[in-house]
Chain A
């Protein structure tokens, strides 16, 4: 009984996500057939017509009729997007115009021949990639496909029919398609149609097709097709069940690992592994182990490895990994244990038999040491092994010099031996020769080592073996000596060579790691996008010695943020960068998309969002980057993406902080306004209402008093509102300052005039030298400042005490000093008194908002000036306002 039917949350999430993606994406329907001529295009067109009748907006993006009249007839009635002409090697070819279809934005597009390869110069290498772009844009697509175009079937079908397809489509495309319709036709009928000439066969392929269209083949193909379609149903069923049932009900899943070696037959290995995984419903992994000698691999080999990794990924391996290790067997077994692999798929041994003799083959070691793991050996094609031989770099001085030195060594040894020949047994003299061989092996390389071994034996035989000074070998046991010397020589030189190349590989790797470390350290210190761009470009250029450009998104497009040199980026290059940014996938040189570009573009992406694009052009116009360099570049791109994200987040955090501060201020202001405006209003309303109530009741002088009070309150409110307004403008950075040269005297005079009534009872001493230079200020704002200061002095100092205003030049400042004889400002509050809403303790009785000085400070600082307060020796405060002389 299934007591627990709790659905697996991860699987549920995956399904929901997949569904969501599917809904936003267009749906792909594949018309699948087992051979050319079964009628796929025809069925597709028929289906399109039904859709059109239902009201769906259908266009023909590209359809091949191959001259068949019945198919052509079906083309009528559906809008056709005109194809694009591309010129390639002097020939004009037509291809689907992808951009036109995207611009047209139909609901459904018909794209024939899923596996077609596009003409070089098109955006994508393969048509199935074009279709993916259409689907991503939300357009549904109908397409046609033959079974032999599927990547995983290429080999089997090649074996069956003798025709190997060059154009393939990755299996995942079929798996991800929303619908598959198998267009079936009994083989006999197909052959009939072939004979009637109704099946299209390109001229070149006629002979090959004869083999293809044999009844037996067709039957086999048909079976494969039908079975594959059935598999798909099975899989959909399985994934549905998986989300809604506990995994215990399922058989323990197998986990398969396939080892990629770079050998030409490995692709077959990979496909086998995949098929195996499908059949046993297992997950499968692909692993390549890089050994120290691998940097000497030929370019061809490296590209093959890269290609195989890519194939593994496209076929749907759960993980495709590259590890670096000295011992491949160790690395594979460690990985297998970590991932709980149950079965390893490996190829038949390639190395010459005698090597394996000594160390045991890769397979043997796997078997012996991987205890719980099955090993499945798959046969390979044997040709082309020769090409994979690694070329070891020679050690020691080049060419003949090594041999010369070797000869010299042997001669020296011979001389020495002669000296000691009466003291020592010949057996011991051999040791001296052995020493010579060892030295040669350590220092001179393989060739000279062998040479010195031979020469040593010859010398030894000649000089020290009877009959002396002759080459007759009476004692064949000296062959053993000979063998021994040779063996030692070769062994040591090989080991030395191996150790050196290992050390070098490690050094290279260390170099790369250091570069990455240096990059991440410098990126951590960068504070803005500019800094990041410069750092990244500097490092990438250092590593690749090529041209580098970093693109950042700007609106709908990208712009080159920084470049390594002053080179021009053509429109075309920028559009490739834009494509990379939009689609989050690598494009350009060495990729499958827009490969005619001279740059490789890598997206800088974190968490699914693309933050920029890194463009790199290899030095000397090389054709592509090696896999290691590519990996390094991707690591750089990752770092850069993280740094950019960090800068963006920091900026956002800053803005949030500013926003919070602004909100706090707004709240404080609202509080202040509400309280501080109500108070004078109540006086005014009180006065007015009492006068209105009974005008005759209040005496004339009292009336005047009340009215004066009300007027005063009203003036105060006016000033307060002005301050508030300036405060908010200042905070928002919207304070408009119109600076012009003004006289201080003018300024002060004007302020005093406006304060006239309140100053009547006071003595105001003014000391402003007539030679005082002009100050470059906004007169209204600085006037406000002086007004605020005077207002304070009037408020807080006793009514009959004098006020002093003086102005003077001090260094490069003009200082205006205002002194009163009030209580002064205590030391501890000298700074805080300029804070918003701060009031000196003990002054609550006096009307004030605590804004006057804050506003003044803001205005003064906006003029690049300073304002502060000092205490006078006897009593009182002195406020000093310093403005820069221009």
Chain B
């Protein structure tokens, strides 16, 4: 199946993970979705494969036997902007944050469901496709008009402060992808404001109150505890 996909000019995925089970599983599951999958068992192999294959997306496990996953990530980011999804375990939030801040696009926690993985892959792959940003963003009950800087929630227009608007726009432009606290802070306030999450928190809270139908059960802006925020896309 894999080879068939190759022939069809399918999207190329490189999977870097030392666990045989994961390798087999991904080859199968992703192959069934029409992707071509190449596997590598350690960091060095992975980097070589990236050079040779020039994949469209890399799925990188952080727990590699020969090198730190973070190190592989950094080296890859030195020469390629290919989207990279990292696989991490539960309770290692600091690891995830560090990877995301060092250039990873998103993460998936093991054990994961294939649905989640595919969704995030799609988001990541969409980003790499060059396209002009759409003038209007529409989600379930939320409308953002970038041209006119107008936001409407559940049909009613909402007044946002400039910061809140910038925040919403950032989240929406990266809809479906996780953004770490630091990434958002750096983008909106500048590198000096990194490690000052309360600024961010206040704004998120205000934003939620304004656009979410039930602020306590957020529908749009999801908190990824210990990592950052993600604007949910409806699949």
Identify the A interface with B (CB < 8 A): 711, 714, 718, 722, 725, 738, 740-743, 745-750, 752-753, 764, 766, 768, 770, 774, 779-780, 783, 805
A750 to B225, Cβ gap below 8 A?
yes
Q: Which of B90, B197, B216 lies in contact with A740, CB distance below 8 A?
A: B197
Would you give 12 A-B contacts (Cβ < 8 Å), ordered by A? A725-B91, A738-B94, A742-B201, A745-B205, A746-B205, A746-B225, A752-B216, A753-B217, A766-B216, A766-B217, A779-B226, A805-B216
Report A-chain residues with C-beta under 8 Å of the C-beta of B201.
741-743, 746, 774
- Could you tell me the distance between the alpha carbons of A745 and B207 in the complex, rounded to whole angstroms? 13
Instruction: Considering the complex, give the chain B residue whose CB is closest to the CB of A746.
Output: B223
B223 to A749, Cβ gap below 8 A?
yes
Closest 3 CB pairs of A and B: A766-B216, A750-B223, A779-B225
Excluding A718-B111, A766-B214, 13 further A-B contacts by CB distance (< 8 Å) are A714-B111, A725-B91, A741-B198, A743-B205, A745-B205, A745-B208, A746-B204, A747-B223, A747-B225, A750-B222, A750-B223, A753-B222, A774-B198
B226 to A752, Cβ gap below 8 A?
no
Is B190 an interface position by the 8 A CB rule? Answer: no
- Could you tell me the distance between the alpha carbons of A718 and B91 in the complex, rounded to whole angstroms? 12
Identify the B interface with A (CB < 8 A): 90-91, 93-94, 111, 113, 197-198, 201, 204-205, 208-209, 214-218, 222-226
A752 to B217, Cβ gap below 8 A?
yes
- Could you tell me the distance between the alpha carbons of A718 and B93 in the complex, rounded to whole angstroms? 17
B93 to A780, Cβ gap below 8 A?
yes
B217 to A749, Cβ gap below 8 A?
yes
B205 to A783, Cβ gap below 8 A?
no
B218 to A749, Cβ gap below 8 A?
yes
Q: Which of A718, A745, A774 lies in contact with B216, CB distance below 8 A?
A: A745
> Separation in Å of the B60 CB from the closest CB of chain A?
22
A770 to B222, Cβ gap below 8 A?
no
Q: Which of B197, B215, B222, B225 lies in contact with A745, CB distance below 8 A?
A: B215
Report B-chain residues with C-beta under 8 Å of the C-beta of A718.
111
Report B-chain residues with C-beta under 8 Å of the C-beta of A743.
201, 205
Say yes or no: A764-B217 contact (C-beta < 8 A), given A746-B201, A753-B222: yes
- Could you tell me the distance between the alpha carbons of A738 and B90 in the complex, rounded to whole angstroms? 15
A750 to B93, Cβ gap below 8 A?
no
B225 to A768, Cβ gap below 8 A?
no
> Separation in Å of the B181 CB from the closest CB of chain A?
10
> Separation in Å of the B67 CB from the closest CB of chain A?
24
Report B-chain residues with C-beta under 8 Å of the C-beta of A748.
216
> Separation in Å of the A576 CB from the closest CB of chain B?
52
- Could you tell me the distance between the alpha carbons of A857 and B217 in the complex, rounded to whole angstroms? 25
Report B-chain residues with C-beta under 8 Å of the C-beta of A741.
197-198, 201
- Could you tell me the distance between the alpha carbons of A780 and B95 in the complex, rounded to whole angstroms? 13
Report A-chain residues with C-beta under 8 Å of the C-beta of B208.
745
A783 to B225, Cβ gap below 8 A?
yes
A780 to B226, Cβ gap below 8 A?
yes
Report B-chain residues with C-beta under 8 Å of the C-beta of A783.
225
Instruction: Considering the complex, give the chain B residue whose CB is closest to the CB of A742.
Output: B201
Report A-chain residues with C-beta under 8 Å of the C-beta of B217.
749, 752-753, 764, 766
> Separation in Å of the A817 CB from the closest CB of chain B?
14
- Could you tell me the distance between the alpha carbons of A805 and B214 in the complex, rounded to whole angstroms? 14
B223 to A770, Cβ gap below 8 A?
no
Instruction: Considering the complex, give the chain B residue whose CB is closest to the CB of A744.
Output: B216
- Could you tell me the distance between the alpha carbons of A750 and B178 in the complex, rounded to whole angstroms? 14
> Separation in Å of the B94 CB from the closest CB of chain A?
8
- Could you tell me the distance between the alpha carbons of A131 and B53 in the complex, rounded to whole angstroms? 80
Instruction: Considering the complex, give the chain A residue whose CB is closest to the CB of B230.
Output: A753
Instruction: Considering the complex, give the chain A residue whose CB is closest to the CB of B219.
Output: A753
> Separation in Å of the A780 CB from the closest CB of chain B?
5
> Separation in Å of the B48 CB from the closest CB of chain A?
34
> Separation in Å of the A877 CB from the closest CB of chain B?
21
> Separation in Å of the A415 CB from the closest CB of chain B?
105
- Could you tell me the distance between the alpha carbons of A742 and B225 in the complex, rounded to whole angstroms? 10
Instruction: Considering the complex, give the chain A residue whose CB is closest to the CB of B216.
Output: A766
Instruction: Considering the complex, give the chain A residue whose CB is closest to the CB of B214.
Output: A766
Say yes or no: A780-B214 contact (C-beta < 8 A), given A714-B111, A741-B198: no
Say yes or no: A722-B91 contact (C-beta < 8 A), given A750-B222, A752-B217, A766-B216: yes
- Could you tell me the distance between the alpha carbons of A779 and B93 in the complex, rounded to whole angstroms? 10
> Separation in Å of the B140 CB from the closest CB of chain A?
15
Instruction: Considering the complex, give the chain B residue whose CB is closest to the CB of A752.
Output: B217
Q: Which of B90, B205, B224 lies in contact with A750, CB distance below 8 A?
A: B224
- Could you tell me the distance between the alpha carbons of A753 and B197 in the complex, rounded to whole angstroms? 22
Report A-chain residues with C-beta under 8 Å of the C-beta of B216.
745, 748-749, 752, 766, 768, 805
Instruction: Considering the complex, give the chain A residue whose CB is closest to the CB of B201.
Output: A743
- Could you tell me the distance between the alpha carbons of A753 and B223 in the complex, rounded to whole angstroms? 9
> Separation in Å of the A564 CB from the closest CB of chain B?
50
- Could you tell me the distance between the alpha carbons of A742 and B200 in the complex, rounded to whole angstroms? 11
Report B-chain residues with C-beta under 8 Å of the C-beta of A722.
90-91
B205 to A770, Cβ gap below 8 A?
yes
Interface centre among A711, A738, A753 (most CB of B within 10 A): A753
> Separation in Å of the A142 CB from the closest CB of chain B?
63
Report B-chain residues with C-beta under 8 Å of the C-beta of A749.
215-218, 222-223
Report A-chain residues with C-beta under 8 Å of the C-beta of B226.
738, 779-780
B225 to A780, Cβ gap below 8 A?
yes
- Could you tell me the distance between the alpha carbons of A774 and B218 in the complex, rounded to whole angstroms? 18
Report B-chain residues with C-beta under 8 Å of the C-beta of A766.
214, 216-217
Report A-chain residues with C-beta under 8 Å of the C-beta of B205.
743, 745-746, 770
Report A-chain residues with C-beta under 8 Å of the C-beta of B218.
749, 753
Instruction: Considering the complex, give the chain A residue whose CB is closest to the CB of B224.
Output: A750
- Could you tell me the distance between the alpha carbons of A738 and B226 in the complex, rounded to whole angstroms? 10
B209 to A780, Cβ gap below 8 A?
no
- Could you tell me the distance between the alpha carbons of A764 and B225 in the complex, rounded to whole angstroms? 21
- Could you tell me the distance between the alpha carbons of A742 and B93 in the complex, rounded to whole angstroms? 15
Instruction: Considering the complex, give the chain A residue whose CB is closest to the CB of B232.
Output: A753
> Separation in Å of the B195 CB from the closest CB of chain A?
10
Instruction: Considering the complex, give the chain B residue whose CB is closest to the CB of A753.
Output: B222
Report B-chain residues with C-beta under 8 Å of the C-beta of A725.
91
> Separation in Å of the B174 CB from the closest CB of chain A?
18
A780 to B111, Cβ gap below 8 A?
no
- Could you tell me the distance between the alpha carbons of A745 and B198 in the complex, rounded to whole angstroms? 14
> Separation in Å of the B58 CB from the closest CB of chain A?
26
Report B-chain residues with C-beta under 8 Å of the C-beta of A774.
198, 201
Interface centre among B111, B198, B214, B225 (most CB of A within 10 A): B225
Report A-chain residues with C-beta under 8 Å of the C-beta of B94.
738
